[in-house]
Amino acid sequence: MDVKDVFAAAEFSNVRMQKINLFETKNFFCDIYCLEPGQEQKVHAHQDEDKIYYVLAGHGSFVVGDETRELGEHQIVMAPAGSQHGVKNTSARRLTLLVFMTPNPNFK
């Protein structure tokens, strides 16, 4: 059994948002996104992949499609395949997200 401590794996950088992979198969990936205040994942889309953002700690502004909402700890949102999506840490503290995407577009 492959067990991870999510918060122990988290890493932050003043330069840019960090993506830390926890699990990866041909079917999905599961990452932690770590954003310092003001950092963002630019709005983008994946044609064939669904993505889920789960807020572990902090809060931020999430875009899915043509809607933008502030989400906080223990809230979850899905960006369906083809929809524009992104996140920005609009708070004064760190934002930590658990992110799932399926199928995995990066699997080699």
Q: What is the CATH number of the domain that holds 44?
A: 2.60.120.10
Of all helices (H) and strands (E), which one includes residue 30? strand 29-35
Is residue 96 a part of any domain in this protein?
yes
Query: H helices of the chain, where?
Result: 6-9
Distance between CA atoms of 17 and 39, rounded to whole angstroms?
6
Handedness of CA 6, 9, 13, 18 (dihedral sign): negative
Q: Give the model confidence (pLDDT) of 28-59 as tens digits.
A: 999 999 999 999 999 999 999 999 999 999 99
**Amino acid 108: pLDDT:** 64
Residue 3, phi then psi, degrees to nearest 5:
-110, 135
Is residue 19 a part of any domain in this protein?
yes
Q: Are 86 and 42 in contact (CB under 8 A)?
A: yes
The number of domains in the chain is: 1
Residue that is written with structure tokens 């992949």 in the block: 49
**pLDDT tens over the chain, length 108 residues:** 999 999 999 999 999 999 999 999 999 999 999 999 999 999 999 999 999 999 999 999 999 999 999 999 999 999 999 999 999 999 999 999 999 999 877 776
**Amino acid 54: pLDDT:** 98
Is residue 91 a part of any domain in this protein?
yes
Is residue 64 a part of any domain in this protein?
yes
Model-level pTM greater than 0.85?
yes
Q: How many C-beta atoms lie closer than 10 Å to residue 74's C-beta?
A: 9
Is residue 32 a part of any domain in this protein?
yes
Is residue 107 a part of any domain in this protein?
no
- Could you list the residue range(s) of the whole structural domain that residue 30 is in? 6-102
